[in-house]
Amino acid sequence: MTENEQTHVQSSASAVTSTFPVLNMACASCAAAVEQTLRQQPGVCDATVNLAAAQAHVTYDKAITSPSSLAKAVEDAGFVLVVDAPKDDVSFITNYHKQEAGKWRNRMIGALAFFVPLMALSMWMPDIPYLHYWLWVLATPVLLVFGASFYKGAWSQLKHGRANMDTLVAVSTGVAYLFSLFNTLFPQFWIARGIEPHVYFEASAGIIAFVSIGKMLEERAKDKTNAAIVKLMGLQPRTVMKLLPDGSMQETPIDSVAVGDRVVARPGERIAVDGKVESGESYVDESMLSGEPMPVLKKAGEPVYTGTLNGKGSLVFVAEKVGAATLLSQIIKVVQEAQGSKAPVQKLVDKVAGIFVPVVMGIALLSFVLWLVIGGAGAFSHALLAFVTVLVIACPCALGLATPTAIAVGMGRAASGGILIKNADSLESSYRLTTVVVDKTGTLTEGHPSVVEISWIEALDEYASILAAMEARSEHPLAEAIVASLHGVQPCEVAAFESLPGRGISAVVRDETYWAGNETLLDEHGIEKSAMLQQDARRWQQDAYTVVWFASGSRALAVMAIADPLKATSRQAVAQMKKMGLEVYMLTGDNAITAQAVAAKAGIEHVKAEELPADKASFIAQLQHEGKVVAMVGDGINDSAALAQADVSIAMGHGSDIAMDVASMTIMSGELTKVPEAVLLSRKTVSTIRENLFWAFIYNIIGIPIAAGILYPVNGFLLNPMIASAAMALSSVSVVTNSLRLRWRK
């Protein structure tokens, strides 16, 4: 292990991750150079650079290095790492792309203003006196003024021993221009040798003009890849109406709101911070979070979230989360990190990008030499054209933009639809999915259970008070339903309490142990169940009710039927997944009879019931062992092990924080129909990435040999450098445009 690797390992325990805008990157080779520079710095654990987003995601140890040190290292490498960007760094990048698009538009207009008359003279007035001098005069401003950024960029890279797209453009146009200038000033050098002194001023100027057009279109397209994030950021109100202790209202900046402040949301206003409604009643549009168009009724005790749109009512709520802690801020953070992540296929692209420009320059030199050797008459002219054209047609931009633009657009569209995808790995895994395993409670069902009937062996108040006391200590949704059904019963004192995941709970009251849970729990302890209670339990199970038993240390005291209706969209979601070729399983801790009844209603044939949390994870592992690529969909703490085991983990947004932390995707609305939607979007995104990469690779594989003159011996065709420059510009624009299609693809 090297000293630098040791530093990385040691620093990882106390590492922080930050995102910084990166400026002046021209192509994939630039992104690779910035990434390599950052990774070589002491204290840096990891670094990824996104060309399309113009951002670097850096994990580093604050005790060893600092943002300013990282910025200095990147500056030394010839680029700019912005460490003092505003909090809204996506808007900063968006504005940067807009500014760059404006600069390239001006350069394009200027270049075309000289190039058009230059072409007119060369094509339609070949016999005018001093033509070559006129062409020289017109071409010079194009290269030295409007194309100056290419030469500056190439020089900057040369000083660091690297080459990028600027290098290709600068070398090709510079060689063509200088050769043409020599032939204009000293034509006799070639005439004396029986060679026509051709000039290529129009080619050098045309390359600058066409590449400028391509760069302008590329920057405009890049600006649109972050449209979803910018839209989400625009949902955050700048001011908030605070309710003061004296009952008056005061409009204050959003940054001044603290947890515990009372806030007023007037009709038609956006909710400014996350909180809980104290008074008032109104319908709130939460589509920006959940993707669901129907407004949600909010009243006292209901949560409200930043950026959601209040309807016609007025709400007073207490601020619970502000600033970066709000759900909207967390969503934006997740999407930003996801857009900056790299798909596994990007590893190949990065390797190619790192050597692309040097390889292309080598091919260009080889083409030049081969033409000189075997070119015959006009060998030098053909050699020069081939050299210039190879440099011009090669496009590292298309390779660098293929993956990140598709990921940025795909992640953004998912977020707009209420689907949070944490990283690009999840996208690729979702593309290969064969099996979806869904939890029952809260996933297939509403997750708001209610007790519909209780059968007691003895109607004793003391038992009811014990049951109420036990369930009040549990956080399980079924416990809440039981407590609600015992409304008015005074809980007694509980000496000891224990949660038994997947089975139920136990408690000690007055030196006697009591149990509440499934039938397996009672069987484990040899507890006797009366025939009457068992008969009631079987009848309820066949009706798809969840059955909960209550027992003392020796006998069953009661059995409860708990209804948790199937979500209206669950059957539709299951049907959609089957239509997509996915195998669907239901996995639950509930008893087999109830599980089968619920599964039948949902249209699921494969059921695993009475599973403990560890059993759920083992079942996922078993499916994986059979060669299946498995997604797990759940919402509770008891699902976290299975979620962690699955190839793709999907948490329902209303579920536990643990489940959401573990999951690679989160469905904000909790609607199961979003699962096939997420899988379909993942498939489209990966397909788009593959289309982009195919085009980028095929373009270069076909274009470079043609530019070198491989077709000349067959049909006498030698590619014009101007056409090559237009093709190069088109290749990168087409990749970004194809990625943008994801915003509308059905």
556-563/546-551 β-pairing: antiparallel
Joined together, the tokens standing for residue 554 give 């020796």
Would you say 22 and 82 are in contact if contact means Cβ atoms under 8 Å apart? Answer: yes
Catalytic pick from 439, 564, 590, 639?
Answer: 439
∠ CA 664-668-674 to the nearest 5 degrees? 80
Joined together, the tokens standing for residue 198 give 């051709």
CA distance 209 to 113: 9
Helix axes 424-431, 674-708, angle to 10 degrees: 100
CA distance 210 to 207: 5
The amino acid sitting at 174 is G
Check if 439 is active-site.
yes
SS3 content of the chain, % helix, strand, coil (to 5): 55, 20, 25
Would you say 401 and 692 are in contact if contact means Cβ atoms under 8 Å apart? Answer: yes
Please, which residues have CB within 8 angstroms of residue 635's CB and are 6 or more apart in sequence?
439, 441, 442, 443, 447, 651, 652, 654, 655, 656, 659, 670
Report CA-CA distances (Å) from 457 to 413, 487, 514: 56, 20, 15
Using only C-alpha atoms, the chain has a radius of gyration, in whole angstroms, of 33
Q: Is the dihedral of CA 342, 346, 351, 355 positive or negative?
A: negative
Joined together, the tokens standing for residue 89 give 């760094």
Would you say 158 and 120 are in contact if contact means Cβ atoms under 8 Å apart? Answer: no
Three-class secondary structure of residue 386 per DSSP: helix
Burial class (CB in 10 A: 0-12, 13-18, 19+), 374: exposed
Residues involved in catalysis: 439
